[in-house]
């Protein structure tokens, strides 16, 4: 049995406004100057009615030939193309001329026609995306990428292609340039009579008029402290990149994919007012009003955005480094950032979970040169103090034996060696006999002489042979800039950002084991989070999660 009342969707017409299309064409035929504004907004395909597509195409053809577009000229060009009847005939053209709209409203009409066309294309793309989803190819990422390309293709097509990249023009004219280069005559074109001008131009040439131009207010300008991801995974501010003179950074290609590229130029744009844009995920950026953002309607400057407008943000920044660290270092750093105290003489760690505490103690042992002292109290979490744990006497003796071997391999006596490095023989004798250790400056002299590093001379470094030296863990934390930071000032040091993928995952794993949390929300969905009073730390974690395709939202709570 047939349904007497078909679904409403079958009765719906695609988005269109025939009246607006007629008013626009009428305005153009009455005042050709309006076409200057319209031609950058519309193309013939943007009209819904096929007759209007033919008429607008004829008008733009006349515009390119610098001929007036009126009833007679449009009639003639349509007739030459054999499209007069398809365009409604002479009667319809006459009717358009008599419609008498307000010509000054032509740009407004054009935007309405364009927006309707955009909606029709969006429906078409949505249907295409729906079909692709039902095909269920199994690769969700490919489907998402396909959907993104389809949607953003609409926004890119909203800008007319009447302007061309300079690269394409150069390719078209390369043969002409080569011929001119091969011609050794001073003037290859038409001489002007002005010697200096002819020398510069080789005379007037039979060529295209090429205008190099850029649309106004389309510069990209961010605040100098804005951080950008570099090729090795580290972060650098725009100011640092500007001063360095070179850096590979991420940019979008024509397929809306991230690629690494070298900026074409770096320009100090002086002092300008900047404004902060904050997304619902808590990310923010400070830019000038002219800085463009990608929207569903193409690129728009900040000044044209409204609160609530959707903008494109990355859903994954898969940039990982190649600089490895020891796993014990990664674990200790994550644990101490999360549940550690770095403001006292020696690093401290406090956690009540036995597995986490045991993992921390193993990492301390693997780090070397330090020992952990655990203090347990009935009413408090276990507290771990990490202090120097070297056996100085044994380490000095081992260093002396190694130094004696290296001197012998050079074919020198102890006295000859002392003379070569400009030291008293008694000093060298004290070293090789394990009585005392060299100072840091003299260790550097030894390293240069034997062409090696300190760890090939002294296994545990300077701290392992000097009683008054800082313990090696504290020294390392000072070197990477994290020691002395309280809970409000903690951050993730630069070496972490340059880690390979698996080691960065290890760091985040141990970090979330401290101040991270997990819970179930309505519907049984799991929710993970991390809490800290350090805003810088939170934003760094949000960024690092994005490298794994994990989108995190920042929330502030006042306690």
What's the CATH number where 535 sits?
3.10.28.10
pLDDT value at 454 more than 80: no
Confidence band, pLDDT 50/70/90 cuts, at residue 217: very low
515 and 437 in a single domain? The answer is no
Residue 384 lies in a domain: yes
Of the pLDDT bands very low, low, confident and very high (cuts 50, 70, 90), residue 211 is very low
Q: Nearest 5 degrees, angle CA 88-CA 93-CA 99?
A: 120
Q: Does 558 have pLDDT greater than 90?
A: no
Evaluate if residue 173 carries a pLDDT over 70. no
Compute the average pLDDT of residues 287-306: 90
- Residues 35, 86 within the same domain: yes
pLDDT value of position 533: 95
Domain CATH code at residue 446: 1.10.260.40
Q: Would you say residue 86 lies in a domain?
A: yes
Name the least confident of 133-142, 232-241, 440-449, 515-524. 133-142
Find the Cα–Cα–Cα–Cα dihedral 220, 224, 227, 231, rounded to 10°: 70
Give the pLDDT of residue 137. 67
- Does 69 lie in the same domain as 196? no
Range with top average pLDDT, 15-19, 488-492, 520-524: 488-492
More confident call, 533 vs 195: 533
Verify that 17 and 93 share a domain, yes or no.
yes
Q: How many helices (H) and strands (E) does the chain have?
A: 22, 14
d(CA 497, CA 491): 12
CA–CA dist 12, 350 (Å, integer): 66
The pLDDT > 70 percentage for the chain reads: 83
Alpha helices in 86-233 (DSSP H): 89-97, 106-135, 140-157, 166-182, 195-201
Going by pLDDT thresholds of 50, 70 and 90, the confidence category of residue 64 is confident
Q: Indicate the pLDDT class of residue 103, thresholds 50, 70 and 90.
A: low
CA distance 559 to 557: 6
Contact predicate 291/221, CB 8 Å: yes
Shared domain for 466 and 481, answered yes or no, is no
Q: Which of 62, 89, 121 is the last residue of a domain?
A: 121
State mean pLDDT over 100-122: 85
Give me the mean pLDDT over the 398-417 stretch: 93
Give me 396's structure tokens: 């000095």
Mean pLDDT of 246-257: 83
**Which one of 68, 101, 121 terminates a domain?**
121
Residues 400 and 511 in one domain: no
Instruction: Flag whether 152 is in a domain.
Output: no
> Which string of b and e fits 149-162 if b means at least 16 CB within 10 Å?
ebbbebbebbeeee
pTM listed for this prediction: 0.56
Residue 267 lies in a domain: yes
- Strand locations in 16-111 (E): none
In angstroms, the Cα distances linking 474 to 170, 339, 463 are: 60, 16, 11
Domain enclosing residue 532, as ranges? 327-389+474-546
Evaluate whether 383 touches 350 at the Cβ level (below 8 Å).
yes
> Which residue in 99, 156, 107, 121 sits closest to 48, CA to CA?
121
pLDDT at 383 over 60: yes
pLDDT value at residue 220: 60
How high is the pLDDT of residue 329? Answer: 95
Asked whether the predicted pLDDT for residue 213 surpasses 50, the reply is no
CATH number of the domain encompassing residue 236: 2.170.16.10
Higher pLDDT, 215 or 191: 191
Mean pLDDT of 179-199: 66
What is the average per-residue pLDDT within 521-539?
88
Give residue 536's pLDDT band: very low, low, confident or very high (50, 70, 90).
Answer: very high
Higher pLDDT, 445 or 193: 445
Q: Is the pLDDT of residue 219 over 60?
A: no
* Residues 44 and 172 reside in one and the same domain: no
Q: Is the pLDDT of residue 468 over 80?
A: no
Confidence of residue 210 (pLDDT cuts 50, 70, 90): very low
Highest mean pLDDT among 33-42, 221-230, 401-410, 446-455: 401-410
Residue given tokens 């810088």 in the structure block = 536
Q: Which pLDDT value is given to residue 49?
A: 92
**Higher local confidence (pLDDT), 61 or 523:** 61
For residue 218, pLDDT over 60 is answered with: no
Average pLDDT for 110-137: 88
Number of domains into which the chain is organized: 5
| Percent of the chain topping pLDDT 90 | 42
Per-residue pLDDT band at 547 (split at 50, 70, 90): very high
345, two tokens: 């003489």
440 & 464 share domain:
yes
* Averaged pLDDT for residues 159-167: 52
Single residue among 470, 505, 534 that ends a domain in this structure: 470
Residue 113 domain-assigned (yes or no)? yes
Confidence of residue 1 (pLDDT cuts 50, 70, 90): very low
What mean pLDDT value characterizes the chain? 84
* Confidence bin at 352 (pLDDT 50/70/90): very high
**411 has pLDDT over 90:** yes
Domain check: are 453 and 528 in the same one? no
17, 109: one domain = yes
Report yes or no on 142 lying in a domain.
no
Please indicate, yes or no, if residue 349 is contained in any of the structural domains. yes
Residues in the chain, overall count? 559
Q: Are 274 and 414 found together in one domain? A: no
Of the ranges 202-211, 391-400, 474-483, the best mean pLDDT one? 474-483
Mean pLDDT for 304-329 is 93
Question: Do 104 and 79 belong to one domain?
Answer: yes
Distances from the Cα of 141 to the Cαs of 136, 318, 381, 501, 552, in angstroms? 12, 14, 45, 19, 19
pLDDT > 90? residue 93:
no
Tell me whether residue 284 is in a domain: yes
**What's the pLDDT at 225?**
87
């Amino acid at each position: 049995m047939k349904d007497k009342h078909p679904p409403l969707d079958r009765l719906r017409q695609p988005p269109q406004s025939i009246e607006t299309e007629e008013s626009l064409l009428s305005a153009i035929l009455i005042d050709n100057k309006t076409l200057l504004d319209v031609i950058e907004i519309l193309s013939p395909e943007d009209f819904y009615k096929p007759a209007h597509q033919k008429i607008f195409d004829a008008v733009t053809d006349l515009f390119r030939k610098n001929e007036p577009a009126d009833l007679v000229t449009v009639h003639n060009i349509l007739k030459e193309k054999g499209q007069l009847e398809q365009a409604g005939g002479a009667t319809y053209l006459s009717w358009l001329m008599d419609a008498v709209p307000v010509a000054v409203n032509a740009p407004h009409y054009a935007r309405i026609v364009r927006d309707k066309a955009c909606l029709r294309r969006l429906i078409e793309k949505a249907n295409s995306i729906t079909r692709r989803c039902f095909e269920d190819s199994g690769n969700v990422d490919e489907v998402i990428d396909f959907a993104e390309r389809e949607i953003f293709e609409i926004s890119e097509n909203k800008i007319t292609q009447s302007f061309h990249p300079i690269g394409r023009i150069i390719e078209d004219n390369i043969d002409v340039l080569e011929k001119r280069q091969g011609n050794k005559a001073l003037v290859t074109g038409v001489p002007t009579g002005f010697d200096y001008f002819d020398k510069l131009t080789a005379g007037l040439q039979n060529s295209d008029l090429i205008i190099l131009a850029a649309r106004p207010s389309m510069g990209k300008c961010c605040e100098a402290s804005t951080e950008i991801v570099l090729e090795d995974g580290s972060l650098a501010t725009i100011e640092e990149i500007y001063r360095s003179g070179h850096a590979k950074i991420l940019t979008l290609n024509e397929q809306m994919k991230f690629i690494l590229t070298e900026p074409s130029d770096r320009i100090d744009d002086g002092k300008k007012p900047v404004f902060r844009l904050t997304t619902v995920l808590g990310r923010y950026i400070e830019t000038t009003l002219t800085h463009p953002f990608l929207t569903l309607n193409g690129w728009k400057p900040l000044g044209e955005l409204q609160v609530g407008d959707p903008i494109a943000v990355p859903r994954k920044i898969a940039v990982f480094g190649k600089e490895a660290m020891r796993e014990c270092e990664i674990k200790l750093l994550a644990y101490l950032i999360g549940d550690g105290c770095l403001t006292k003489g020696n690093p401290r760690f406090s956690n009540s979970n036995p597995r986490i505490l045991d993992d921390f103690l193993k990492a301390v042992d693997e780090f070397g040169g330090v020992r952990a002292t655990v203090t347990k109290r009935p009413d408090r979490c276990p507290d771990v103090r990490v202090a120097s744990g070297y056996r100085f006497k044994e380490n000095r003796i081992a260093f002396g034996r190694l130094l004696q071997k290296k001197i012998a391999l050079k074919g020198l006596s102890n006295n000859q060696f002392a003379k070569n490095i400009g030291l008293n023989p008694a000093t060298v004798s004290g070293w090789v006999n394990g009585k005392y250790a060299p100072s840091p400056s003299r260790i550097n002299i030894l390293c240069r002489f034997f062409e090696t590093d300190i760890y090939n001379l002294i296994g545990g470094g300077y701290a392992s042979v000097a009683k008054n030296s800082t313990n090696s863990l504290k020294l390392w934390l000072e070197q990477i800039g994290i020691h002395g930071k309280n809970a409000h000032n903690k951050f993730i040091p630069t070496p972490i950002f340059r880690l390979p993928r698996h080691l960065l995952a290890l760091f985040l794993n141990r970090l979330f084991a401290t101040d991270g949390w997990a819970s179930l929300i309505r519907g049984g969905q799991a929710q993970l989070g991390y809490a800290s009073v350090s805003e810088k730390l939170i934003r760094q974690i949000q960024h690092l999660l994005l490298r794994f395709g994990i989108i995190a939202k920042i929330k502030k709570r006042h306690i």
